[in-house]
Amino acid sequence: MKGPGIFLAQFLGDEAPFNSFESICKWAAGLGYKGVQIPTWAGSIVDLKQLAESKTYADDFKGVAQAAGVEITELSTHLQGQLVAVHPAYNAMFDGFAPAEYRNNPKTRTEWAVQQLKYAAKASQNLGLNAHATFSGALLWHTVYPWPQRPAGLVETGFKELADRWMPILNAFDEVGVDVCYEIHPGEDLHDGVTFERFLAATGNHKRVNLLYDPSHFVLQQLDYLQYIDIYHEHIKMFHVKDAEFNPTGRSGVYGGYQDWIDRPGRFRSLGDGQVDFMGIFSKLAQYNYEGWAVLEWECAIKHPEDGAAEGAPFIQQHIIRRTERAFDDFAGTGSDEAYNRKVLGLD
């Protein structure tokens, strides 16, 4: 496992050191991070189209990070991926994810989003990356609770349409040898294990359909995030290290009562302040030989982001497990061959 890394999306701003790619990379390196994950919608630090079309620009961009003391871990198109599939009920709320010229026009907005993902495939190749972070978007989310009763075939139709929209994108990523890692997240049609399986099947088990594992979203859904690793470890190619807590009351539970984040029973926390069993998670990922990055995604309604970032690097570093190269009981080994094994079994 590589790390610690940090997702830059929550830290970019108008003031130094958060207002330029070079300065934020130096800030991250100074805190002990070894990698940075790039939000490609942040035009203040990156031009995704140029990153895709110019190897020189990509090399220079990567060089800025390396000179500052960090690597680029992955690119992210979370916001653009969301716009690949939007139910009309959410058009106004998601319009802000696209440039002004694509708003109030869902068709052209979707076309823009698809092109953004295709740029991200080539950009990832130009940077020498093999995994990419995104959201799936959602056509079915408004039916997540089965009331009113869903019409027969609705779910199948929804996942077929979602897969049809993603297939050209997945094929573009396949052409450049990069995995698409969907962050399993409430609000997306891919929000748990069952929905991931539905989408995977709808794409014909496309080999580029993979997972960004973030346990915080499973805490808020009350899903077994350790067993999730046992089931889906072959698809986990990215890892957001993010904490959360769930404290239901007699007044509010999983759905949160439309409350602000700070008042919800389920809320994100800075690393170590929540309920996530990171010792269990890092142990399981080591057990299954996860070789990707461990990347802090900081979101907390209480703690200051700079404090969360400062605490995050040592927290991740302390949890990364270096896999052993030999068995702990090798000292007691007796050696064996087929004849000896047969003797032990009483066969000779």
Q: Is the dihedral of CA 301, 307, 311, 313 positive or negative?
A: positive
Q: Taking the CA of residue 119 as centre, how many other CA atoms within 13 Å lie in the half-sphere pointing to its CB?
A: 22
Q: What is the pLDDT of residues 250-297, one digit of tens each?
A: 999 999 999 999 999 999 999 999 999 999 999 999 999 999 999 999
* pTM (two decimals): 0.96
Give the DSSP H/E element, type plus range, for residue 211. strand 209-213
Q: What is the pLDDT of residues 104-152, one digit of tens each?
A: 999 999 999 999 999 999 999 999 999 999 999 999 999 999 999 999 9
Q: What is the pLDDT of residues 298-320, one digit of tens each?
A: 999 999 999 999 999 999 999 99
Determine the 3-state secondary structure of 56 from DSSP: helix
How many domains does the chain fold into? 1
Distance CA 255, CA 62 (A): 42
Structural domain including 203 reads 2-344
Q: What is the pLDDT of residues 10-38, one digit of tens each?
A: 999 999 999 999 999 999 999 999 999 99
pLDDT at site 30: 98
Nearest to 44 by CA among 22, 62, 65, 28: 22
Residue 45, pLDDT above cutoff 90: yes
Alpha helix stretches (DSSP H) within 135-235? 154-175, 193-202, 215-221, 225-232
pLDDT at site 158: 98
Residue 334, pLDDT above cutoff 90: no
Q: What is the pLDDT of residues 167-216, one digit of tens each?
A: 999 999 999 999 999 999 999 999 999 999 999 999 999 999 999 999 99
Question: What CATH number should be reported for the domain holding residue 205?
Answer: 3.20.20.150
What's the residue count for the chain? 348
Assign 326 a pLDDT band (cuts: 50, 70, 90).
confident
Give the type of residue at 142.
H
12 and 37 Cβ atoms separated by less than 8 Å: no
DSSP 313: H
pLDDT at site 335: 75
When computed from its CA atoms, the radius of gyration of the chain, rounded to whole angstroms, is 22
DSSP 184: P
Q: What is the pLDDT of residues 214-250, one digit of tens each?
A: 999 999 999 999 999 999 999 999 999 999 999 999 9
Q: 335 versus 278: which is more confidently predicted?
A: 278
- Cα 76 to its chain centre, rounded Å, is 8
